[in-house]
Amino acid sequence: MKDVVMTAEHTLEKLGLTAAELTGGTLDVRSPIDGRVLARVHETPVAEMDAVFARATTAFKAWRTVPAPRRGELIRLLGEELRAAKEDLGALVSWEAGKITSEGLGEVQEMIDICDFAVGLSRQLYGLTIASERPGHRMMETWHPAGPVGVISAFNFPVAVWSWNAALALVCGDPVIWKPSEKTPLTAMACQKILEKAVARFGDAPDGLLQLLIGGADLGKALVASEAVPIISATGSTRMGRAVAPIVAQRFGKCILELGGNNAMIVGPSADLEMAVRAIVFSAVGTAGQRCTSLRRLIVHNSIRADLVARLKKAYAGLPIGDPLAQGTLVGPLVDEASGQAMQAALKAAEAEGGTVFGGRRVTDGVPEGGVYMQPAIVEMPGQTEIVKTETFAPILYVMGYDGFDEALEMQNDVPQGLSSCVFTLNMREAEQFLSPAGSDCGIANVNIGPSGAEIGGAFGGEKETGGGRESGSDAWKGYMRRQTNTINYSAELPLAQGVKFDI
Ligand code: UN1
């Protein structure tokens, strides 16, 4: 039903992006759908970075004194504006990142959800009251705004990841400097417009609560190195995280890192296979395998392996691949040619390591010209070889067999990454073992649902090479504030802690 969908140009216009912003620049924005240049946007000059930091610092000084529930009002308005813009922004996510319509809309829904969460949070930035060992003393812990937050985001969730960070940061009293992926500046520019509308309705917010850095790695480098930005929240590859973390550590800044995943599902002999198949296909093939939470490894009990693989091949063979804006499509394009090549290279490596590949070919019939459309691949592997331990951002599902549950758990944990994981089982012992201290070593561990599609209410992130950061729900907000311990003496004495005597 492409014809009832707006054109990209019309969508951009409805989102308030002007011709002057979309033309005459040096950064070409291509749609993964057909490779067409959607816009030529203007890059932020590196020479402007000092001014950016100065604006963020000034904004911080004003914003930190605004009561948190009032800051929450800005995010409530942002949520309203996002509701109004949901269809257009969702469509732009499809145009710019290649997501199918439902996933583009889902991403905007995730933004709305985190806004609602952050509004509630704005009245709950709780500290503690702590018992003092000294008479006539009281101790407490207070959470204060920390300063400007640098957000570096990836192409695959071009808007939701920003919102997880920005909604919390703004409620916590911190302005945001956002460096989106070079591949997705348009959705970022649209978000800025949407926030501007909320700011206008809010009334008295300081300027510079959100600044955008459009362009390449130089801007990211300047952001990461700046003492003016105490918190860097970076989502992307492990390689990027390895470059960012030491620079931030060197200046004693704080990092929130959300890096690569290599997510597995263990399927036990008691599993509801029909449910497992649905979960596997969504999480391995959804977003064309380009989520950090995508399912990449299937660890299946040998007694059901042949049956499960046969069911999967049947499901894969019928997958509608093509224009993500067309009704019924489930698999859209990869983001660019380089991703297509990385997928082919990984499949070759898997074959060289003893794998048998099903699917994985480039699709050229019935898909828009100029995009990279691939059949999702199932690769039966003799074991967890080198390529299986590597994250390839494409729809490749490696399948390995196991006999004992301990062996399955060991395989699940035997990769450098530690983002998301899950088990399909009706055996309560297996489920509980999976969630136990000796179970999955990932930041996310699920039972009878796939590894992707996390809700915003939980803390999102993972261990090991995934970087250890937590964003979104639970108490992830603490990462955007500084903790202060206060001791108040309401007595007329001055007793020292630990009974120390120091009479003068
Ligand atoms: C990401 O891929 O960077 O769990 C984030 C999910 C989404 C977020 C993924 N809610 O799939």
For 103-142, how does the pLDDT look when each residue is reduced to its tens digit (9 = 90+)?
999 999 999 999 999 999 999 999 999 999 999 999 999 9
CATH number assigned to the domain covering 49-259+467-485: 3.40.605.10
Catalytic positions, please? 258
CB 346 within 8 A of CB 376: no
Residue 268: the pLDDT is 98
pLDDT digits (tens, 9 = 90+) for 432-453: 999 999 999 999 999 999 999 9
Q: Mean pLDDT across the stretch 325-343?
A: 98
Here the tokens at position 37 are 């240049």
Residues spanned by CATH 3.40.605.10 within the chain?
Answer: 49-259+467-485
In this prediction, residue 2 has a pLDDT band, given cuts at 50, 70 and 90, of very low
The neighbouring-strand residues paired with 143 are: 483
Residue 57: the pLDDT is 98
pLDDT digits (tens, 9 = 90+) for 14-71: 999 999 999 999 999 999 999 999 999 999 999 999 999 999 999 999 999 999 999 9
CA distances from 258 to 65, 101, 150, 187, 471 (A): 30, 25, 14, 20, 8
Ranges assigned E (strand) in 21-167: 27-30, 37-41, 128-130, 137-145, 149-152
Q: What percent of the chain has pLDDT over 90?
A: 99
pTM metric for this prediction: 0.97
Helices and strands in the chain: count of H runs, count of E runs: 14, 21
Examine the pLDDT at 4 and tell me if it is beyond 50: no
d(CA 171, CA 191): 17
d(CA 69, CA 73): 7
Examine the pLDDT at 5 and tell me if it is beyond 70: no
Q: What's the residue count for the chain?
A: 504
d(CA 435, CA 60): 41
Query: Does residue 161 line the site of ligand 1, with CB under 6 A?
Result: yes
Residue 1: the pLDDT is 41
Angle at CA 206, nearest 5°, toward 202 and 207?
A: 110
Q: At what angle do helices 101-121 and 160-171 cross, to 10 degrees?
A: 10
Here the tokens at position 85 are 């813009």
Here the tokens at position 202 are 């809010």
In this prediction, residue 176 has a pLDDT band, given cuts at 50, 70 and 90, of very high
pLDDT digits (tens, 9 = 90+) for 222-257: 999 999 999 999 999 999 999 999 999 999 999 999
Cα–ligand 1 centroid distance for 291 (angstroms):
6
As assigned by CATH, the class of the 263-459 domain is alpha beta
Query: Does residue 291 line the site of ligand 1, with CB under 6 A?
Result: yes
d(CA 176, CA 232): 10
182 contacts: CB under 8 Å, gap ≥ 6: 27, 215, 216
Query: Does residue 294 line the site of ligand 1, with CB under 6 A?
Result: no
Cα–ligand 1 centroid distance for 403 (angstroms):
31
Residue 99: the pLDDT is 98
Nearest to 156 by CA among 198, 103, 225, 85: 103
Here the tokens at position 79 are 């949520």
Cα–ligand 1 centroid distance for 9 (angstroms):
27
Here the tokens at position 264 are 């597995």
Q: Mean pLDDT across the stretch 483-487?
A: 98
Nearest to 377 by CA among 446, 450, 295, 307: 295
Residue with tokens 């009479």: 503
In this prediction, residue 497 has a pLDDT band, given cuts at 50, 70 and 90, of very high
CB 70 within 8 A of CB 63: no
Q: Which residue's alpha carbon is at the smallest distance from atom 3 of ligand 1?
A: 292
Cα–ligand 1 centroid distance for 329 (angstroms):
20
Q: List b or e across 325-342, with b for residues whose CB sees 16 or more CB atoms inside 10 angstroms.
A: bbeebbbbbbbbeebbeb
First to last CA, the chain: 85
Q: From the alpha carbon of 235, which atom of ligand 1 is closest?
A: 3
302 burial (CB, 10 Å; 0-12 / 13-18 / 19+) is exposed
Q: From the alpha carbon of 420, which atom of ligand 1 is closest?
A: 4
Residue 33: the pLDDT is 98
CB 151 within 8 A of CB 209: no
> Which ipTM did the prediction report?
0.96
- Around Cβ 111, how many Cβ atoms within 10 Å? 28
d(CA 168, CA 11): 28
Query: Does residue 293 line the site of ligand 1, with CB under 6 A?
Result: yes
pLDDT digits (tens, 9 = 90+) for 279-314: 999 999 999 999 999 999 999 999 999 999 999 999
Residue 3: the pLDDT is 46
d(CA 342, CA 377): 13
Radius of gyration of the chain from its Cα atoms, rounded to whole angstroms? 24
Q: Which residue's alpha carbon is at the smallest distance from atom 11 of ligand 1?
A: 453
Nearest to 290 by CA among 380, 385, 181: 181
420 contacts: CB under 8 Å, gap ≥ 6: 261, 263, 293, 442, 443, 444, 445, 446, 451, 452, 454, 462
Average predicted confidence (pLDDT) for the chain: 97
Residues spanned by CATH 3.40.309.10 within the chain?
Answer: 263-459
Here the tokens at position 495 are 């007793």
4 contacts: CB under 8 Å, gap ≥ 6: none
Residue 54: the pLDDT is 98
